[in-house]
Amino acid sequence: MTGTRDQGLNRRGFVLGTVSGAALAMAPTLSGAGPDSSNKKTVLAQISKMHAENIKRLQDWIAFPSIAAENRNYPQGAEYMADLARKAGFTDVRLIPTSGKAGVFGRLNSGGATTLAIYFMYDVKQFLADEWSSPPLEGRLVPREQLGTVCMGRGAVNQKGPQNAFLSAMMAFHAAGKKLPVNLVLVCEGEEEIGSPHFGEIVMTPDVLQALKSCAGVLLPSADQKPDGSLEVQLGAKGIVELELVASGEKWGRGPQKDIHSSLEAQVDSPSWHLVQALNTLVEKDGHTPAVAGFFDLAKPLTERQKQMVATYAAEVPESVVQKQYGVAHWVHDLNWYDSLLRLYSQPTINIEGLVGGYTGPGGKTVLPHRAVAKIDMRLVPDMTAVDTLAKLKAHLLSHGFGDIEVNMTGGYDPTQTDENSKFMQAILKTYRNLGVSPQVVPRSPGSWPGYRFTNPPLSLPAGGFGLGHGTGAHAPDEYYLIESANAKVQGLDGAIASFVEILYALA
Amino acid sequence: MTGTRDQGLNRRGFVLGTVSGAALAMAPTLSGAGPDSSNKKTVLAQISKMHAENIKRLQDWIAFPSIAAENRNYPQGAEYMADLARKAGFTDVRLIPTSGKAGVFGRLNSGGATTLAIYFMYDVKQFLADEWSSPPLEGRLVPREQLGTVCMGRGAVNQKGPQNAFLSAMMAFHAAGKKLPVNLVLVCEGEEEIGSPHFGEIVMTPDVLQALKSCAGVLLPSADQKPDGSLEVQLGAKGIVELELVASGEKWGRGPQKDIHSSLEAQVDSPSWHLVQALNTLVEKDGHTPAVAGFFDLAKPLTERQKQMVATYAAEVPESVVQKQYGVAHWVHDLNWYDSLLRLYSQPTINIEGLVGGYTGPGGKTVLPHRAVAKIDMRLVPDMTAVDTLAKLKAHLLSHGFGDIEVNMTGGYDPTQTDENSKFMQAILKTYRNLGVSPQVVPRSPGSWPGYRFTNPPLSLPAGGFGLGHGTGAHAPDEYYLIESANAKVQGLDGAIASFVEILYALA
């Protein structure tokens, strides 16, 4: 279980929680006027009738957390996910074994011409109950000023709330006696919160792969609206490598093999200084730009169109609000807002997540530690890969005399990118606009999710998040998902479910 | 409370626990043949009779821990100390207020020609009871293979055991109806374990200072014997500055003012990289030699006599045993044993005690931390001072562009040195030899204790540790003090008490 403050953002859910975006036209109209209009109306009409059971299903799910890092509720959490899928109408549902936690796979054949893949995660992040204002496994409905009523609990928005809303949409079809306009393939993992180390095994399982090959795209149900109703469409995400750099007397062959008295530093080498010197080689003199040899070799610059997206974003989102939100007075290199955003969307990074060595408690303790660790994440842009970047880091350390420092990768994956002009992405953009939301389109999330498993060969599918609704606090205390909205521009649970009904028709 | 492993050495008690020293001549004979011989015999004869009460007093004291870092048992622990002093025969015992915890002061006027000061600490180090094999506040008597029976508890050797043995010696005089051969002045502090931040105030209290000025030297009761019976006499100790270097967005004016999502590192500066770069300037390319401008300016080289002591030590103490004890395969710069010991006794150091920043739990967490801390200790040799060295560190950081990094000193003091040829030190050496032990004499402890308050002006007194007996585990779990020795070369409690009787006569 982790013990640090959480910044309210997860690896995937990079959300500028309080940023005012473009003014919204109006509250969404939740029915269209196409050929499926009549069926859709019937389906949408079911949603409000099922409101109570849809909430109850979310609360029950929150009460049963799967936490991969703690091996909690495994394999029961996977079985629970499989049962939910079956109840929503998926057939052939089964667990997909991996070297780690099993995935869950299912299909729904509606006789549609189009098949859509849905990516789920059934695991949630660790939590410390003491830090919560409401019991984290209760999914209690609590009022939230200016927002309305939210369901508060671990996994509420990341990702049980949006996923349950998607399942609710499927159930609305069933209740209405209507077939879904598309066939579905469900791929679900239980290790997203530890970096999806075995998700590749799920995707590459022969019949899963075969089913995915038939799909037009991969949808990630989400709750994309900010508190003001605006939302971003991200055309991809950076990749990530998370790792620990470990300097130790044992591996170095110098310094002590256990913590010894600090006075001995006069005659004994220090693995901590060794780590500091190694770290110092990883960035340029600006204390920022990665200095690993070849680090940028595969990094593609932004296209003119991508720069245009950033310019639009910079014009629409006020810099001062974002600076205040982060507590940042100056962007790196004292860049202006637009240039800093260009970096945000285009630059690969090497970040220190954490430093741990020797005595870490209050005050001091006179030890010469035998071991020091830097927790690092590297963010990757196309066409960088996790494997290549990790290899370059190792080669860099070796060539600088730090070959003894262990590089223990704990998770990561390649960047993912989907063409803005793909039918899939156009359907998402069009659906949002039909629902009265003008999305801000950005080149990619500066955060990461393992979408490359879909967007890279052998599948090469478009993939992206979709969903009205709102929630926040992923990885943090008091995580919530909006149920009853007090703001017409922000959808509550029913509106979120309706948005999934809409996207299924749009993708058909 | 601290949570790290303890290396079994405290700031003061730098003890090569398992090192075989020179062969001992024989078991000590605990009575001499001088003019005081008859009185001394009478006193020594009391010791075995008081054995049970002497143990009980130690156990009771261990049961009542004063822990300055936790504000535990204050001011009751100071009062407890004062009561012990009164029971041992000190008069005019009173608490000496300071800006922190009060000290304890007392006198004993025996009509002797010589007055000796005794330095005590009444505080002990924090502990985690779970880590102990015996309850840390019980002072239980437990068998210890090859050693005999030990009293196990927090403070057993650091310093309640030796201090209780000294008080027991005083009580033996009283029981025998004999006057002490010297007058005594007791100065005691309750903040030794947090770096003696207010000990100067105790010493500079007018009547304490006045009393100390009348003294011939300052004795620190200790348990100096290693498990083989050998011991070291240290003619001083390095000084120390303990501090935290804190890089933060708040002070820097760059980077975030709270932990934010690590993906933002693309556009936001990182206080962690800033700290790494600052740290990197503190040592030379060898990853070891302090690079702070002027750091060595006041450091005196060893004299020829001091080098001779080191040579003798190097010849008597086997390198392989020490290397094995520390888990060290190579000394710094691949020095030979003697040259590495020269460094140990002569070189000031900058050591990283600990690194703490961002996420420090298992695995990773994608944050860009707003704050990172390096815990540093600097060891000083004569004529360096804590004030001057701290100022040089700050000036160095400022001149290298790291003036924003906070330098928070948590404790420290100047080096201490006593002339080997002083009467005081000669009496200690002679007493050990009379008791059958040939001490190894070293230029100073590479560890630290605040003896400079005595050895520097205005007092300029000789000061040093003394005491037969054995114990170890200061700051660590299972700290113990030997009560019944299974080895004739190592003294148990009664022998330790007797050694204090001997030194009082020797100093008279």
Dmax (CA) of chain A: 83
- pLDDT over 60 (residue B18): no
Q: Residue A326: its chain B contacts at CB < 8 A?
A: 256-258, 260, 264, 268
- Asked if the C-beta of B302 comes within 8 angstroms of chain A's C-beta atoms, the answer is no
Tell me the nearest-neighbour CA distance from B11 into chain A, angstroms.
Answer: 7
B3 or A447: whose pLDDT is higher?
A447
Range from A334-338, B70-74, B353-357, B360-364 carrying the lowest mean pLDDT: B360-364
**Nearest residue of chain B to residue A474 (CA atoms):** B261
Q: Residue B323: its chain A contacts at CB < 8 A?
A: none
Hey, are the CB atoms on A335 and B262 less than 8 Å from each other? no
Average pLDDT of the segment spanning B229-252: 96
The pLDDT assigned to B35 comes to 57
Q: Residue B336: its chain A contacts at CB < 8 A?
A: none
- Asked if the C-beta of B195 comes within 8 angstroms of chain A's C-beta atoms, the answer is yes
- Asked if the C-beta of B340 comes within 8 angstroms of chain A's C-beta atoms, the answer is yes
The pLDDT assigned to A33 comes to 53
Q: Residue A249: its chain B contacts at CB < 8 A?
A: 327-328
Please report the sign of the dihedral spanned by the C-alpha atoms of residue B309, residue B312, residue B315, residue B321: negative
Average pLDDT of the segment spanning A3-18: 31
Hey, are the CB atoms on A366 and B11 less than 8 Å from each other? yes
In which residue ranges of chain A is CATH 3.30.70.360 found? 239-299+347-413
Hey, are the CB atoms on A280 and B280 less than 8 Å from each other? yes
Hey, are the CB atoms on B2 and A361 less than 8 Å from each other? yes
Tell me the nearest-neighbour CA distance from B170 into chain A, angstroms.
Answer: 34
Average pLDDT of the segment spanning B482-508: 97
- pLDDT over 80 (residue B238): yes
Tell me the nearest-neighbour CA distance from B15 into chain A, angstroms.
Answer: 10
Residue-wise pLDDT for B455-476, tens only, equals: 999 999 999 999 999 999 888 8
Q: Which of residues 414-453 of A touch B (CB under 8 A)?
A: 445-448
Average pLDDT of the segment spanning A120-137: 94
Hey, are the CB atoms on B447 and A260 less than 8 Å from each other? no
Residue-wise pLDDT for A67-83, tens only, equals: 998 899 999 999 999 99
Which architecture, in CATH terms, is A50-236+417-507?
A: 3-Layer(aba) Sandwich (3.40)
The top-scoring range by mean pLDDT among A46-60, A358-372, A465-479, B11-25 is: A46-60
Q: Residue B370: its chain A contacts at CB < 8 A?
A: 327
Hey, are the CB atoms on B356 and A356 less than 8 Å from each other? yes
**Encoding tokens for residue A192?**
């997203």
Q: Residue A254: its chain B contacts at CB < 8 A?
A: 329-330, 332
Q: Which CATH number does B62-237+415-507 carry?
A: 3.40.630.10
Closest C-alpha to B217, from B428, B11, B383: B428
Q: Residue A345: its chain B contacts at CB < 8 A?
A: 266
Residue B443 CA: distances (Å) to CA of B37, B311, B331: 33, 11, 20
pLDDT bracket for residue B33 (50, 70, 90): low
- Asked if the C-beta of B290 comes within 8 angstroms of chain A's C-beta atoms, the answer is no
Whole-angstrom Cα distance, residue B22 to residue B495? 20
pLDDT bracket for residue A474 (50, 70, 90): confident
SS3 B395: helix
Helices in A245-293 by DSSP H: which ranges?
Answer: 249-252, 271-280
Whole-angstrom Cα distance, residue B419 to residue A331? 58
Residue-wise pLDDT for B278-310, tens only, equals: 999 999 999 999 999 999 999 999 999 999 999
Q: Residue A346: its chain B contacts at CB < 8 A?
A: 266
The pLDDT assigned to A34 comes to 57
- pLDDT over 80 (residue A379): yes
> Who among B4, B358, B368 is closest to A361 (CB)?
B4
> Who among B276, B351, B363 is closest to A368 (CB)?
B351
- Asked if the C-beta of B256 comes within 8 angstroms of chain A's C-beta atoms, the answer is yes
Residue-wise pLDDT for B318-371, tens only, equals: 999 999 989 999 999 999 999 999 999 999 999 999 999 999 988 888 899 999
> Who among A4, A327, A372 is closest to B355 (CB)?
A372
SS3 A508: coil
**Nearest residue of chain B to residue A253 (CA atoms):** B329
Hey, are the CB atoms on B361 and A3 less than 8 Å from each other? yes
Q: Residue A370: its chain B contacts at CB < 8 A?
A: 327
Q: Which CATH number does A239-299+347-413 carry?
A: 3.30.70.360
Whole-angstrom Cα distance, residue A6 to residue A172? 36
In which residue ranges of chain B is CATH 3.40.630.10 found? 62-237+415-507
Tell me the nearest-neighbour CA distance from A3 into chain B, angstroms.
Answer: 7
Hey, are the CB atoms on A261 and B14 less than 8 Å from each other? yes
In which residue ranges of chain A is CATH 3.40.630.10 found? 50-236+417-507
- Asked if the C-beta of A280 comes within 8 angstroms of chain B's C-beta atoms, the answer is yes
Angle in degrees, CA A409, A413, A419, rounded to 5: 165
- Asked if the C-beta of A327 comes within 8 angstroms of chain B's C-beta atoms, the answer is yes
Residue B52 CA: distances (Å) to CA of A129, A379, A466, B46, B174: 51, 67, 79, 12, 17
The pLDDT assigned to B69 comes to 85
**Encoding tokens for residue A382?**
């196309």
Tell me the nearest-neighbour CA distance from B406 into chain A, angstroms.
Answer: 15
Length of chain B: 508
Hey, are the CB atoms on A263 and B238 less than 8 Å from each other? yes
A to B CB pairs, distance under 8 Å? 335
- pLDDT over 50 (residue A15): no
- pLDDT over 80 (residue A123): yes
Decide if A200 contacts A208 (C-beta within 8 A). Answer: no
Hey, are the CB atoms on A377 and B363 less than 8 Å from each other? no
pLDDT bracket for residue B194 (50, 70, 90): confident
Hey, are the CB atoms on A379 and B263 less than 8 Å from each other? yes
The pLDDT assigned to B59 comes to 98
Burial call B300-316: b when 16+ CB within 10 Å, e when fewer: eebeeebbebbeebbee
- Asked if the C-beta of B366 comes within 8 angstroms of chain A's C-beta atoms, the answer is yes
Decide if A362 contacts B69 (C-beta within 8 A). Answer: yes
Tell me the nearest-neighbour CA distance from A170 into chain B, angstroms.
Answer: 34
Tell me the nearest-neighbour CA distance from B390 into chain A, angstroms.
Answer: 16
In which residue ranges of chain B is CATH 3.30.70.360 found? 239-299+347-412
The pLDDT assigned to A17 comes to 30
Please report the sign of the dihedral spanned by the C-alpha atoms of residue B434, residue B439, residue B441, residue B446: negative
pLDDT bracket for residue B113 (50, 70, 90): very high
Give me the percent of chain B exceeding a pLDDT of 90.
86
- Asked if the C-beta of A242 comes within 8 angstroms of chain B's C-beta atoms, the answer is yes
pLDDT bracket for residue B37 (50, 70, 90): confident
Q: Give A142's DSSP letter.
A: E
Average pLDDT of the segment spanning B442-449: 94
Tell me the nearest-neighbour CA distance from A154 into chain B, angstroms.
Answer: 17
Name residues whose C-beta falls within 8 Å of residue A89's C-beta, 6 or more positions apart in sequence.
A108, A170, A171, A173, A174, A180
Range from A151-160, B22-31, B212-221, B335-344 carrying the lowest mean pLDDT: B22-31
**Nearest residue of chain A to residue B274 (CA atoms):** A287
Interface test with B, best of A268, A335, A339 (most B CBs within 10 A): A268
Answer left, alpha or beta for residue B253, where phi above 0 means left and psi between -120 and 50 means alpha: left
Hey, are the CB atoms on A340 and B249 less than 8 Å from each other? no
Tell me the nearest-neighbour CA distance from B86 into chain A, angstroms.
Answer: 33
Tell me the nearest-neighbour CA distance from A10 into chain B, angstroms.
Answer: 8
The pLDDT assigned to B28 comes to 43
Average pLDDT of the segment spanning B143-172: 97
The pLDDT assigned to B27 comes to 35
Tell me the nearest-neighbour CA distance from A18 into chain B, angstroms.
Answer: 14
Average pLDDT of the segment spanning B123-144: 95
The pLDDT assigned to A411 comes to 86
A242 or B325: whose pLDDT is higher?
A242
Hey, are the CB atoms on A261 and B7 less than 8 Å from each other? yes
> Who among B283, B350, B355 is closest to A356 (CB)?
B355
Burial call A340-369: b when 16+ CB within 10 Å, e when fewer: bbbbbbbbbbbbbbbbbbbbbeebbbbbbb
Hey, are the CB atoms on B368 and A351 less than 8 Å from each other? yes
Name residues whose C-beta falls within 8 Å of residue A145's C-beta, 6 or more positions apart in sequence.
none
- pLDDT over 70 (residue A21): no
Residue-wise pLDDT for A37-50, tens only, equals: 899 999 999 999 99
Mean per-residue pLDDT over chain B, rounded = 92
Tell me the nearest-neighbour CA distance from B197 into chain A, angstroms.
Answer: 13
Q: Residue B259: its chain A contacts at CB < 8 A?
A: 4-5, 7
Hey, are the CB atoms on A327 and B351 less than 8 Å from each other? no
CB atoms within 10 A of CB A494: 22
Q: Which CATH number does B239-299+347-412 carry?
A: 3.30.70.360
